Structure 1
Amino acid sequence: MLLLGLLPLMLLRGCGCQAADAPLDVTAEFSVRMYHQLQILGGEENIIFSPLGVELALGMVELGARGSSLEEIRQALGYSNLRQDEEFSLMSNLTRALSVDTYVVRLVNSLFLQTGVRFNKDFLQLMKILFRAEVETVDFSESAAVSEHINSWVENHTESKIHNLVSADDFSSATKIMLVNAMYFRGSWKNQFRPENTRTFSFTKDDGSEVQTLMMYQQGEFYYGEFSDGTTEAGGVYQVLEMLYEGEDMSMMIVLPRQEVPLASLEPIIKAQLLEEWANNVKRQKVEIYLPRFKVEQKMDLKETLQQLGIKNIFTKDADLSAMTAETEDGQNLFIGKVVQKACLEVTEEGAEGAAGSGMIALTRTLVLYPQVMADHPFFFIIRNRKTGSILFMGRVMTPEVIEPFDDNFDM
């Protein structure tokens, strides 16, 4: 499995004109609200984004914010009940909890500063201490060269999986600072799928149409539960499957409605407290799993989404980001011009990058005495740290990787 998340925030100058001890993440509500906003904007498409990436990038902005600009960020992220600045310790501890040997989580942050502008030394120092951010000066008026340089930085920190995050059109002489947050995750399933059990299978989309995809299969011990929202809105009972990665700190949780129930009927009930309920109530038992191999990738301009979540001031010329600049500079004229995230998720038999299998055998639905999770229709998923509750990735699969009849992997 390979997961990637990137979030740059471009700030413009107005034209004057230890893991076991890590605290629980408090931003689950923000993550879910953000998902619902993307759902509204996304139509019937796949969704993939990194809540932790957004949280960290907004945390970097928060370091330089004051007044209502600061309070809007704290309110939206769920930090209002924390002591002032306590969230920075929280974010630092959450990221430290991800540093283990059984999987790879690489969190890298960088500040690209306009040459000639004087920035607050305390702000830059805190960025280095709290976010381990690299600091580099560039000339944003050379937009083509800057975009090429930043895209190269992104590729180098994501194993060349994310390309063309920004373009020359994103920069001008008005751009004064760009904050980039990149996340790379690679993990192997604790219980891997056997490639020889993978074969083509029909996946039924919510509109009733079918596509052919590669379906992985295995039987084994997994965390599983059946839940009901108490109404008919979500089709009554739905399934939750949690699959662990090696080391058991990280997991993928899959939420699957009944075959005849569209995912859109289940999505409205998803709430932060429900994520915790799923995690606390799935039980280890023998399960038969049919899960499509899939890859989802998405680039999104998140400005509108964040505005809908209450973070508005930083996008206007009334923004107060004066803590970023030296006293001799006019920090009152800084504001956020653009927020972009690009994320990629790939799920294979081994869970690791590049896994594949060409041998296939016929699979049929059989009468079994234990639960069967048949993900041959749209489903919701999250990738989370089981100790801290932090959500690295959240999304949905409306259409998996499609196998065409002329594809070498297509089994007639």
Structure 2
Amino acid sequence: MLLLGLLPLMLLRGCGCQAADVPEDVTAEFSVRLYHQLQITGGEENIIFSPLSVALALGMVELGARGSSLEEIRQALGYSHFREDEEFSLLSNLTQALSTDEEQYVVRLANSLFLQRGVHFNEDFLQLMKKYFKAELETVDFSESAAVAERINSWVLNHTESKIQNLVSADDFSSSTMIMLVNAVYFRGSWKNQFRPENTRTFSFTKDDGSEVQTLMMYQQGDFYYGEFSDGTTEAGGAYQVLEMVYEGEDMSMMIVLPRQEVPLATLEPIIKAQLLEEWANNVKRQKVEVYLPRFKVEQKIDLRETLQQLGIKNIFTKDADLSAMTAEVTDGQDLFIGKAVQKAYLEVTEEGAEGAAGSGMIALTRTLVLYPQVMADHPFFFVIRNRKTGSILFMGRVMNPEVIEPFDNNFDM
């Protein structure tokens, strides 16, 4: 299993116009609202994004924000009931609790600020960025856009094991760019119960429009956390399945939510709420389950500016933004605003969890004579990658179109 997320926030200068030991993640509701906004604009496409990456990047902006710019971020992220600045300690503790480079799995969180050379930034702001976000600081000349793009993309490659490439281009920068904040989230883990590659076979995946594609379907029978749920209405098409598959170390897991085969995922998605995520996690029971899960690889670049505006974070994207805490002089800060908010995320699911080869051939799978609950993910499903202790959602998304292979293609290398 390999997952990565990047979120750069680019600040522009206007034209002269106007905690606990294991902290809980309080941004789950924001994560779900963000997913629903992406779902509205996503059509029938896959979705993969990192709510944690968005929250951390917005936290960095919040450090430099004042007035309505600050309040919009706090309200959207669910910080309104906190004392002023309390959320920064929470984010810092959360980052520390999540970051690990253990033998079983790896979670790395990295932040960086690229600052326009010659601009006087507030020293307190820079020190707080280091304190709460462990941010690396580097001065560049954004007017040399090609060189800056190369430098930032190099930083991204270095912090995502070369999986996310070309996050930015020279066209993203101009002489008005003053600062760029970049956050990287990297996760690599192996399933506690791994799939055997020799059991992977070509199989049909039925999309919500009724069409079928050929994909590689992994199979195993093992002990997993499983439950069947219903919202009591017809909104979700009745009962649906929730499967939680843990990674080595058991701190991290992937939760898969699967509607009945004849029910489109779009019918289930509206019921997804933060409280329901917690209900699923608390009520799945460990039992023997037959699991059919496609190998899939999803990569997506999302322009988050419009999405965040729909969630109420509007001011920072206008020339009325007050980011005065970032610069040494108030007049400088009032000229800054967020010009771009982009995230690029990558997810790969294989037999071992990190890398794996698959066998070739065709196999007929059947639902008859099943001795144990069967999760047959041969149609679109929703998923969450989360830390089971903190509830932090590292990645969230859906698979509408798995990785497609040509029938009888014997070359299955990823």
Q: What is the TM-score of this pair, normalised by structure 1?
A: 0.97
Question: In the alignment, is the contact (CA less than 8 A) between 1:117 and 1:329 conserved in 2?
Answer: no
Deviation at 1:153, TM superposition (A): 1.1
Contact 1:76–1:309 under 8 Å retained in 2:
yes
Give 1:21 deviation, angstroms: 2.5
Q: Is the 8 A contact 1:56 1:91 kept in 2?
A: yes
- SS of aligned partner of 1:395: strand
- After superposition, residues 377-392 of structure 1 pair within 5 angstroms as 377-392=379-394
Local SS of the residue matching 2:384: strand
Structure 2 distance, partners of 1:29, 1:328, is 34
Q: How does 1:139-178 map to 2 (within 5 A)?
A: 139-178=141-180
What is the letter of the counterpart of residue 345 of structure 1?
L
Query: 339-348 vs 327-336, which deviates more?
Result: 327-336
Partner in structure 1 of residue 356 of structure 2: 355
Aligned AA (1:2): L
Deviation at 1:358? 2.5
Aligned residue for 2:365? 364
2:202–2:360 contact (8 Å) kept in structure 1? no
Instruction: Give yes or no for contact 1:195–1:359 (8 Å, CA) kept in 2.
Output: no
SS at match of 1:274: helix
SS of the residue aligned with 1:150?
Answer: helix
Aligned residues: 408
Work out whether residues 361 and 408 of structure 2, in 8 Å CA contact, stay in contact via their aligned partners in 1. Answer: no
Structure 2 CA distance for aligned equivalents of residues 331 and 37 of structure 1: 30
Map of 1:47 onto structure 2: 47
Task: Please identify, of 216-225 and 324-333, the stretch whose mean Cα deviation from structure 2 is larger.
Answer: 324-333
Answer whether contact 1:108 1:183 (CA < 8 A) is retained.
Answer: yes
One-letter code of the match for 2:249?
A: G
User: C-alpha offsets along residues 304-337 of structure 1, whole Å, 9 cap, x if unaligned?
Assistant: 0000000000011111100000127611110000
Change (3 A) 1:306 1:287: same
Judging changes above 3 Å, is the alpha-carbon distance between structure 1 residues 262 and 328 closer, same or farther for their aligned structure 2 residues?
closer
The correspondence of residues 173-184 of structure 1 with structure 2, limited to 5 A, is: 173-184=175-186
Q: Which residue of 2 aligns with 1:254?
A: 256
1:171 Cα deviation (Å)?
0.4
Gaps of 5+ in 1: none
Aligned equivalents of 2:392, 2:160: Cα separation in 1: 20
Three-state SS of the structure 2 residue aligned to 1:399 is coil
Identity among equivalent pairs (%): 86
Correspondence for 2:119: 117
* Other-structure match for 2:89: 89
In the alignment, what sits opposite 2:223? 221
The separation in 2 between residues aligned to 1:113 and 1:276, in whole angstroms, is: 40
What whole-Å deviation, never above 9, does each CA across 1:135-183 have from its counterpart, x for those lacking one?
0000001111111111111111111100111111110000000000011
Please give the alpha-carbon distance, in whole angstroms, between the structure 2 residues aligned to 1:132 and 1:359: 46
* Match in the other structure for 1:136: 138
- The Cα shift of 1:406 comes to 5.6
**One-letter amino acid matched to 1:57:** A
Shift of 1:295: 0.6
Alignment of 1:10-409 (within 5 A): 10-17=10-17, 21-100=21-100, 101=102, 102-327=104-329, 330-352=332-354, 354-358=355-359, 362-365=363-366, 366-405=368-407, 407-409=409-411
Aligned partners of 1:312 and 1:276: how far apart in 2?
29
* Matched-pair contact (CA < 8 Å) for 1:118–1:329: no
Offset at 1:362?
A: 3.1
TM-fit CA distance, 1:364? 2.3
Q: Is the 8 A contact 2:324 2:330 kept in 1?
A: no
The structure-2 alpha-carbon separation of the partners of 1:350 and 1:360, relative to structure 1 and needing over 3 Å to count, comes to farther
- Structure 2's unaligned 5+ residue stretches are none
Whether the 8 Å CA contact 2:52–2:392 is kept in 1: the answer is yes
1:359 CA displacement: 5.4
Name the SS for the 1:330 alignment partner: helix
Aligned to 1:32, the other structure's residue is in SS state: helix
Q: Give me the whole-angstrom Cα distance separating, in 1, the residues matched to 2:316 and 2:365.
A: 55
Report the more deviating stretch, 61-70 or 357-366.
357-366
Give the deviation of 1:48 after TM superposition.
0.2
Q: CA separation in 1, counterparts of 2:361 and 2:375?
A: 20
- Whole-angstrom CA distance in 2 between matches of 1:268 and 1:387: 26
Shift of 1:198: 0.3
**1: CA distance, partners of 2:109 / 2:315:** 27
Matched residue type, 2:282: N
